[in-house]
Structure 1
Amino acid sequence: MKSGVTHVKQVNADPSAIGLFGLAMVTLVASSQKLGWTDGVSFVVPWAIFLGASAQLLASLKDFKHNNTFGATAFGAYAFFWYSVALSWLTQLGVFGAQAAAAVDAKQLGFAFLGYLIFTLYMTIGAMETHKVLFIIFVLIDFLFIGLTFSTFGINEHFFHNLAAYSELILSIFSFYASAAAVLNTHFGKTFLPVGRPFGIFK
């Protein structure tokens, strides 16, 4: 080059596969507890911290390098959700002392779920311009937070608990599929697992 300047292009792999795998794993384990297939949350905590939180945080940081505001925000926000949930469970289990456990007010968690419901609703609009599988994942997260919010506030608790539980299980299945598609479609250089085109409404 005449200017003597060399431009180096840094190529980063798509981080969505590991982020979606983390989401799939934590929702599978957590839904097993909500559905009554397993008991307690002691063994859900490690999966919440490492898969639900850390894997999605990694994906978020990589998406920032891709200049992908939507992906970075989504993975980052849900990563910190799972860190917060894990700490809430640890508090409830008495890890931070009996006084902290005794002072727990579940309604505070209800307001946190409500905040994430609001966040997920507008992210669902954004997901319409990604692909249809991701859009379905966000719709399922909407239902998950609707169930968590109402059940935590004690409103028709049984119905909304079940809504959250089954939404979370189905969410896990779709997240596994989306993760597999992200890996295999890139690996084979073709559409091995279809994810559906964007709706094309806003773009």
Structure 2
Amino acid sequence: MATNTEHNAVNSAVNGDTSTHAQDFEKATRGMSHEEKTAAQNAARFGYGPLAHMRTNLDATLPAFGGEFQPGLYRGVEKRKFANPAPLGLCAFALTTFVLSLINLGTRNIKVPAIVISLAFGYGGLVQLLAGMWEMAVGNTFGATALSSYGGFWISFAIILTPGGFEIEATITEQQSTKALFDCLGFYLMGWFIFTFLLLICTLKSTVAFFLLFFTLDLAFLMLGCSYLVLENGAPHTGLTRAGGAFGILAAFLAWYNALAGIADTSNSFFIVPVLHFPWSEKGRAARTEDKTDSSV
């Protein structure tokens, strides 16, 4: 096991001259076990941990990583002035989705989603929108688009749920009918289903957890959208609503998982959250090439 002295040596190596980082890397990790050294190296590839800046090639690209909300190869930010905003946005999305999905599942017979209004405005909406703006600052187009859009989703959804807010529900019901209101909500959710599908396509070369996050979220939007378009006794379809809630719960936990992957490193956690890359991704192809090289030696 590495001692505190060895840990401090790692941090000292980080602050050294970039031309000597390769030598300092070996020196700083000399007292670590194989598992600890591997974990530190993995954390460093994602821009975190005590070895985060110990790269001699400043133009090197890093593999897709859900903790950074990066679906493809991206360039690491040396001596970044901004923290990683992705975990904040993911957590804001996860908690708000978790609460709403429990209600959609009919947990403890709760059917009125009024409690979600506060979360949707304050956490899932405002905080996630801010995280999306900060993703722009670190140069992550995908993260900025996704987090800002879902922040906007929660704010707009909270406006719809707010009693007497913009009188959206009352206007549609009075001027047309309750069925027209349900149809409009179905259109609204199907639009988010299409948007999420577009993002889903962009995660096909990333990690399994990152892909599954958008896959389950997309199915949640689809089920909930269909529940308003396929009514049951004049009300949203119960089975489809519960199916949407189930997929929403999965999406929430996957969002938390990706957030933890972006937060945990060897300086604050006893373990590094595993991220499994697809075999056809850049990381997967590189691993296969390395295995073939090792087997041929």
TM-score (norm: length of structure 1): 0.84
After superposition, the C-alpha distances for 1:128-173 in whole angstroms (9 at most, x for unaligned) are 2332211110001111011011101125723321210100111111
Q: 1:99 to 1:85 in 2, by over 3 A?
A: closer
In the TM superposition, 1:77-96 aligns within 5 A as 77-90=149-162, 93-96=163-166
In 1, Cα distance between equivalents of 2:213 and 2:144? 16
Q: Which residue of 1 aligns with 2:141?
A: 69
After superposition, the C-alpha distances for 1:99-131 in whole angstroms (9 at most, x for unaligned) are 547446121121111111111111001122332
Match of 2:274 among 191, 194, 199: 194
Q: 1:122 to 1:67 in 2, by over 3 A?
A: same
What code does the residue aligned with 2:250 have? I
Q: 1:187 to 1:58 in 2, by over 3 A?
A: farther
**Highest RCO, 1 vs 2 (Cα 8 Å, sep ≥ 6):** 1
The gaps in structure 1 that reach 5 residues or longer are: 1-8
Match of 2:102 among 32, 42, 46: 32
In 2, Cα distance between equivalents of 1:186 and 1:57? 29
In 2, Cα distance between equivalents of 1:36 and 1:188? 37
Deviation at 1:95, TM superposition (A): 4.1
Check if 1:148 corresponds to 2:218.
no
Deviation at 1:94, TM superposition (A): 3.1
**Contact 1:146–1:160, Cα closer than 8 Å, also in 2:** no
**Contact 1:128–1:199, Cα closer than 8 Å, also in 2:** no
- Percent identity among equivalent residues? 27
Larger-Rg structure: 2
Q: Which residue of 1 aligns with 2:70?
A: none
Q: Which moved more, 1:101-110 or 1:15-24?
A: 101-110
Check if 1:42 corresponds to 2:42.
no
Q: 1:133 to 1:25 in 2, by over 3 A?
A: same
Secondary structure in 2 aligned to 1:185?
A: coil
Q: Which moved more, 1:21-30 or 1:174-183?
A: 174-183
Q: Which residue of 2 aligns with 1:116?
A: 192
Deviation at 1:36, TM superposition (A): 1.4
Q: 1:190 to 1:200 in 2, by over 3 A?
A: farther
Q: Which residue of 2 aligns with 1:166?
A: 246
Check if 1:139 corresponds to 2:215.
yes
Q: Which residue of 1 aligns with 2:182?
A: 106
Q: Which residue of 1 aligns with 2:201?
A: 125
Match of 1:12 among 72, 78, 82: 82
More helix by share: 1
Match of 1:185 among 265, 290, 296: 265
Aligned pairs, number: 194
In 2, Cα distance between equivalents of 1:124 and 1:131? 12
**Contact 2:159–2:166, Cα closer than 8 Å, also in 1:** no
In 1, Cα distance between equivalents of 2:238 and 2:198? 27
